[in-house]
Amino acid sequence: MDQLLINVLNGVSAGLLLFMLSSGLTLIFSMMGVLNFAHASFYMLGAYFAYSLSRAVGFWPALVLAPLLVGAMGAFFERTALRRVHKFGHVPELLITFGLSFVILELVKLVWGLSSMNFPPPELLQGPAFTVMQSDAHGLGLAWGAAPADRCASTAAAVMHCSTFPATRFFMMVMALFMLVSLWLLLTRTRIGLVIQAALTHPEAVEALGHNVPRVFMLVFGSGCALAGLAGVIGGVTFVTEPSMATIVGSIIFVVVVVGGMGSLAGAFVASILIGLLQTLPLTVDKSLVHLAASLGWAVAPGDLGYPLMKITLAQAAPILPYLLLVLILIFRPKGLLGTREG
């Protein structure tokens, strides 16, 4: 049970990292109607900028400065390039961001090299955030940090099992929830949020009130990129900082946005958790349709029709499940789980 709980928490934390990344993409699409193919590249830049800055000023200042730098780059790109092709429709917007993703990737390789960076977490985030303990006599228990060795030692009276949850993943979860609440409050409870939403649906009226709509869109695009950069800082220190990190998350964030609903922040949150669990929990199930058939009294031999497909375990199929969910959502609910628009 303790390991199952840790697996669930790992899935939730992975989902919340996806939300941190996809929230910026959702913000950009909901406000501007632009699908930014370079979004994962800004995620990668956040990790590399934080790596370099942390060596000079430490991790915590880098946690703030790196997303700001990424956001400034995103705003500059929107002002100088994306805005110029916006009038030609969605296809040029997709193509220019697609090209930007390769430019960023190659620049990262030239500046930082092809190898992964040694980007350790700060001392506060090293080690476990808490330990889940389970014993035959007392059931489940929780200890903050690393549990004492004597509390995880089995005795003749009780068998103990201890599983730890990394502090970096716990920090990731806290930051993602903070981001969700902050974005919701910004967009629904502040004057800035009302101006941003009004600029999408009634740009002429917003301009008549004295607001610069192109500047609003530039700030929205820059803010979305900054959110991706923040996710990159935390993802880089939790997992690995390398040039392929953009490729690893590049496709899955679009799955999150589509499954949750195009432009829906709440939908992105729900879809992120769902996909995080889909990517994590099946890895612990080493069973296939062959095992299921055997439990029902039907023996499947290697020479039987369909055996190569039936022998695939759920753990082996785990990487496919989010994309299978995407296909099913597009067939049966094109607007997504909580979306209100189809594209």
Q: What is the structure's pLDDT at 110?
A: 96
pLDDT band at residue 155, thresholds of 50, 70 and 90?
A: low
pLDDT band at residue 156, thresholds of 50, 70 and 90?
A: low
Q: Which of 12-26, 132-146, 213-227 has the lowest mean pLDDT?
A: 132-146
CA dist 290 and 297 (Å) reads 11
* pTM of the predicted model as reported, rounded to 2 decimal places: 0.88
Mean pLDDT of the chain: 87
Residue 135: pLDDT above 80?
no
- Domain coordinates of the chain in residue numbers? 2-121+168-246
CB contact at 8 A, 65 and 73: no
What's the average model confidence in pLDDT over 148-175?
A: 80
pLDDT band at residue 343, thresholds of 50, 70 and 90?
A: very low
What's the average model confidence in pLDDT over 138-145?
A: 78
Q: Which amino acid is at 165?
A: F
Residue 341: pLDDT above 60?
no
Using H for helix, E for strand and C for coil, what is the string for the chain? CHHHHHHHHHHHHHHHHHHHHHHHHHHHHHHHCCCCCCHHHHHHHHHHHHHHHHHHHCHHHHHHHHHHHHHHHHHHHHHHHHHHHHHHCHHHHHHHHHHHHHHHHHHHHHHHCCCCECCCCCHHHCCEEEEEEEECCCEEEEEECCCCHHHCCCCCCCCEEEEEEEHHHHHHHHHHHHHHHHHHHHHHHCHHHHHHHHHHHCHHHHHHCCCCHHHHHHHHHHHHHHHHHHHHHHHHHHCCECCCHHHHHHHHHHHHHHHHCCCCHHHHHHHHHHHHHHHHHHHHCCCEHHHHHHHCCCCCCCCCCCHHHHCCEHHHHHHHHHHHHHHHHHHHCCCCCCCCCCC
Both tokens assigned to 236: 């880089």
CA dist 271 and 265 (Å) reads 10
pLDDT band at residue 79, thresholds of 50, 70 and 90?
A: very high
Model pLDDT for residues 102-111, shown as the tens digit of each residue: 999 999 999 9
